[in-house]
Amino acid sequence: MTQFESSESSTAVSKSENETHVDVHVFDEQSDVELDMERYRRLAISVLTAEGVTQISELSITFVSPHSIAALNEQHMGHEGPTDVLAFPIDEHLTQTPNPASSPLLLGDVIICPSVAADNCSTNKGSYPGHEGSLTDELDLLVVHGILHVLGMDHADDHERHQMQERERDHLTGFAGRNL
């Protein structure tokens, strides 16, 4: 798992889902926004299950400060400044050929900055049915977006972007319907 240097306190939620064999760890290493970490754990499990991840797998989602994500963005992407989400696939190539007898599949890490996400809420309002422009709606979108990247999806061209946005809408609409 990715290690972060942080002076903020870290809170984590981690539970194993026996029926899906997916272990999702959610960490809060920022103090700008209060988060419902159990919500993001459930959302991640919902996405992974719907995407067909059936073997024993592990994923981490970490919420960080603008300073932390800016450092990661520069170090790993070569871009200056904070961004809203970064995804670091680990065993991405193995998600296509599952082998339940092997050791757990390390899917990767999704890093999200709630402070940057807050700036994007109104811009992404209406990007999927139910996105009303709230921070929760935007964080839900970023969790799904990051997981799809970890699973190998991209948006480098129009076809890929359309495909990825369609999957995002499907996951978010389905999750919202189950959590009313």
Is beta strand 11-17 parallel, antiparallel or unpaired with respect to 22-29?
A: antiparallel
Give, in order, the Cα–Cα distances in Å from 35 to each of 4, 52, 113, 147, 153. 19, 27, 11, 18, 26
Q: Which pLDDT score, from 0 to 100, does residue 13 have?
A: 47
Handedness of CA 166, 167, 170, 175 (dihedral sign): negative
Tens place of pLDDT per residue across the chain (180 aa): 343 333 333 444 444 444 458 899 999 999 999 999 999 999 999 999 999 988 889 999 999 999 999 999 999 999 999 999 999 999 755 555 555 555 678 999 999 999 999 999 988 888 887 888 999 999 999 999 999 999 999 988 999 999 999 999 999 998 976 664
Global pTM reads 0.84
Q: Which pLDDT score, from 0 to 100, does residue 179 have?
A: 62
Domain segments of the chain as ranges:
11-178
Architecture of domain 11-178: 3-Layer(aba) Sandwich (3.40)
Q: Is 149 exposed, middle or buried (0-12, 13-18, 19+ CB in 10 A)?
A: buried
Q: Which pLDDT score, from 0 to 100, does residue 99 have?
A: 54
Q: Which pLDDT score, from 0 to 100, does residue 4 have?
A: 39
Give tens-digit pLDDT for 51-80: 998 888 999 999 999 999 999 999 999 999
Q: Which pLDDT score, from 0 to 100, does residue 102 have?
A: 59
Closest CA to 47 of 121, 126, 107: 107
